[in-house]
Amino acid sequence: MTLVIGLRWATREGEAVLITSDSKVTTDVGVAYEMKKIYPIMLDDSYVAVVGVAGHTSLAKQGFETAEEILSIHAERQYPIPYIKFKRAVREIEETLVKRLSQLRGYGIDPRFQMILGSLDLDGKASLYRFDSSGLSEAVHDNPGYAIIGSGMATGGVLLLRMIGYDQDLELGLLSAFMIDSVSEVDATVGPFIGESYFMRLQVKNGHKSIALGPLTEKAIVEYKEQIEARKALIKKLWRLCDKHGGHKIETALDQLEAP
């Protein structure tokens, strides 16, 4: 299946949305190939939202297309879509998806589908929604502040995020890439991190506000991969030091490093 992570991230200008994924798809007969799983939604060269999808390839694309169609209609009335109006648009997307997925169940098909939908308004308020296999949505931007979908969610995604702890002061780009790379080592349906990551943020230039959205640069991808390996080595080293010197002594040394 896959692993897609959506996070609300705080920036100097306001909130932001980060969606990161692997790029591997595994079919029912065990054939694996790469597929894009994060899609920006645009209107007249302006960014409206960003979507991350998981599940059956056909349903994943239908989910994105449904969100794109409905949000584009709302964006024509007012763009960027304000936080409250985006919430109403999500209800329309939900209604459409529920009907479609329910119809498939009526045909005896068990739809494998999940989606993360994120957006940002000019007040710097982020929206982040998770859609399950029934098509129902859940707002996660305020609580817990993140969404994880795909098979990798159960094989390590949630565990790693809870163990490290979700905190907007962390370098969440590196954290999400680290999670995907680590889960790929134990879940054959999840591919390693190869740079599929989109960051949606508020941009202020000369007093003018706009929404910026873009993928990682090649340089950032290389740096992330190097840092991921370094973090893995540090975790192993920390564990050995705790065995050798005792957890209390190591904790004391770390507290000293944290002190201002």
pLDDT band at 43 (very low <50, low <70, confident <90, very high): confident
Domain holding 116, by residue range, is 4-216
Query: Which range, of 49-53, 151-155, 181-185, 221-225, averages the lowest pLDDT?
Result: 151-155
Q: Could you read off the pLDDT of 235-250 as tens digits, one per residue?
A: 999 999 999 999 999 9
pTM for this model (two decimals): 0.93
Cβ-proximal residues to 1 (8 Å cutoff; 6+ apart), any chain:
25, 26, 54, 55, 112, 150, 151, 152, 189, 190
Q: Which domain CATH number covers 33?
A: 3.60.20.10
Q: Is the pLDDT of residue 210 over 60?
A: yes
Do residues 140 and 243 both lie within one domain? no
- Is-contact 188 27, C-beta < 8 A? no
Average pLDDT, stretch 133-152? 96
Q: Is the pLDDT of residue 46 over 90?
A: no
pLDDT score recorded for residue 138:
97
- Is-contact 6 128, C-beta < 8 A? yes
Report percent pLDDT > 70 for the chain: 97
Report percent pLDDT > 90 for the chain: 78
pLDDT score recorded for residue 230:
97
The residue type of 87 is K
pLDDT score recorded for residue 157:
93
Do residues 222 and 211 both lie within one domain? no
pLDDT score recorded for residue 259:
84
Q: Which residue among 216, 232, 250 closes a domain?
A: 216
Q: Could you read off the pLDDT of 120-140 as tens digits, one per residue?
A: 999 999 999 999 999 999 999
Average pLDDT, stretch 97-102? 97
| Token pair 């780009």: residue | 173
Closest by CA position to 127, among listed 204, 16, 19, 3? 16
Do residues 73 and 194 both lie within one domain? yes
The mean of the pLDDT values for the chain is 92
Do residues 163 and 251 both lie within one domain? no
Q: Could you read off the pLDDT of 52-86 as tens digits, one per residue?
A: 999 988 999 999 999 999 999 998 777 789 999 99
pLDDT band at 27 (very low <50, low <70, confident <90, very high): low
Do residues 242 and 205 both lie within one domain? no
Average pLDDT, stretch 193-216? 92
Nearest 5°: phi and psi at 249? -65, -40
Nearest 5°: phi and psi at 164? -75, -40
Do residues 109 and 176 both lie within one domain? yes
Q: How many domains does the chain have?
A: 2
